[in-house]
Amino acid sequence: MFSISRVFHKKLGSAMLTSALLLFAGAACAKVIPLHAALHPCAGVQTSGVSAMKGTYNTVSHMVTWEVTYSHLTSDVIMAHFHGPISKPGASAPVQVWLTKKPPHPMAPAPIIGKAKISPEQAKELLGGHWYVTIHTVKYHDGEMRGRIHTN
């Protein structure tokens, strides 16, 4: 009986060690890619606004994080999104990720901070420079500030 218990504990310990090593190896292989965007006024918008986005993308968890800062916009921010994919600068694209709550929503105070899991296809578009950030305000529902997301 003693030897069976000893064998069981030895195998259990070995399995736990193997699991821990696999977990560590997987985490070690993750690459966290920095993201950034300098936002500018959307076409036809008159604003003194200043805005930027910084974030990361994790290649193992497929999590994208963001922090969008802004100041001096014409009115309150009502929503912000990642849009994509675009084939050329200035093109429009559908919403891929909501950075604020979906309507009905409260005004979004700065900074806008969050994270979301994206698909491998979305990651390819994001890392390929085919996504952009848009900040929508009360005055400019279609977007006041916009900037293409870069990885370097």
Task: Say yes or no: 93 and 67 in one domain.
Answer: yes
Task: Say yes or no: 35 and 106 in one domain.
Answer: yes
What's the confidence (pLDDT) of residue 28?
Answer: 57
Task: Say yes or no: 25 and 84 in one domain.
Answer: no
Neighbours of 152 (CB within 10 A): 7
pLDDT bracket for residue 76 (50, 70, 90): very high
* pLDDT(24) > 90: no
CA 22 to chain centroid, in Å, comes to 27
What is the chain's Cα-based Rg? 22
Task: Say yes or no: 96 and 132 in one domain.
Answer: yes
Task: Say yes or no: 17 and 86 in one domain.
Answer: no
Task: Say yes or no: 41 and 76 in one domain.
Answer: yes
Partner residues linked to 145 by β-bridges = 41, 135
Range of the domain at 47: 31-148
Task: Say yes or no: 48 and 121 in one domain.
Answer: yes
pLDDT bracket for residue 141 (50, 70, 90): very high
Q: Which of 61-70, 83-92, 105-114 has the lowest mean pLDDT?
A: 105-114
Question: What average pLDDT score do residues 75-101 get?
Answer: 93
* pLDDT(149) > 70: yes
Tokens of 50: 């200043």
Task: Say yes or no: 68 and 22 in one domain.
Answer: no
Question: What average pLDDT score do residues 83-93 get?
Answer: 91
* Tally of structural domains, the chain: 2
* Global pTM value: 0.79
Task: Say yes or no: 139 and 102 in one domain.
Answer: yes
Output DSSP code: residue 150: B
Task: Say yes or no: 62 and 94 in one domain.
Answer: yes
Task: Say yes or no: 106 and 42 in one domain.
Answer: yes
